[in-house]
Amino acid sequence: MITEIEPENAISSGVLYKSTLPGMVSPQEEHTARLERGLRLAEWLEMDVYERALLIANRRIRMAEHNLQADAEIRKAKRDAAKSGRKK
């Protein structure tokens, strides 16, 4: 499952994204997904639950891809720095 992948390099915001039940979406994540799409609360609530779930899933995938890309770039920078340090 893609949500189980943890990047090696991360920053904690101090905000805990945790739902009350396993498999449920936290209110913070739902709110953020709505805001990223530029939807007003009334529009969000009028949407079918399945459609909202798809938007949240899409956001999770984008965030996971972003985190994995950033982690790979940091690892490469560390490797390059170690290589240039050995050349001296």
pTM to 2 decimal places: 0.68
Rounded Cα–Cα distance for residues 53 and 29 (Å): 11
Q: What is the pLDDT of residue 65?
A: 92
Domain that holds residue 49: 27-87
Is residue 14 one of the residues assigned to a domain? no
Least confident of 34-38, 59-63, 84-88: 84-88
Residue 72 domain flag: yes
When pLDDT is averaged across residues 56-68 and rounded to a whole number, the result is 92
Q: How far apart are CA 36 and CA 41, in angstroms?
A: 12
Amino acid at 66: H
- What was the pLDDT predicted at 31? 94
* Confidence at 1, pLDDT banded by 50, 70, 90: very low
Number of domains in the chain: 1
* Cβ proximity of 7 and 63 under 8 Å: no
The SS3 assignment for 83 reads helix
Least confident of 19-23, 38-42, 49-53: 19-23
In a domain, 17, yes or no: no
Residue 78 lies in a domain: yes
Q: Sign of the CA dihedral 44, 50, 51, 54?
A: positive
Position 31 in a domain: yes
> Is residue 77 in some structural domain?
yes
Within-domain flag for 6: no
Question: Residue 5 domain-assigned?
Answer: no
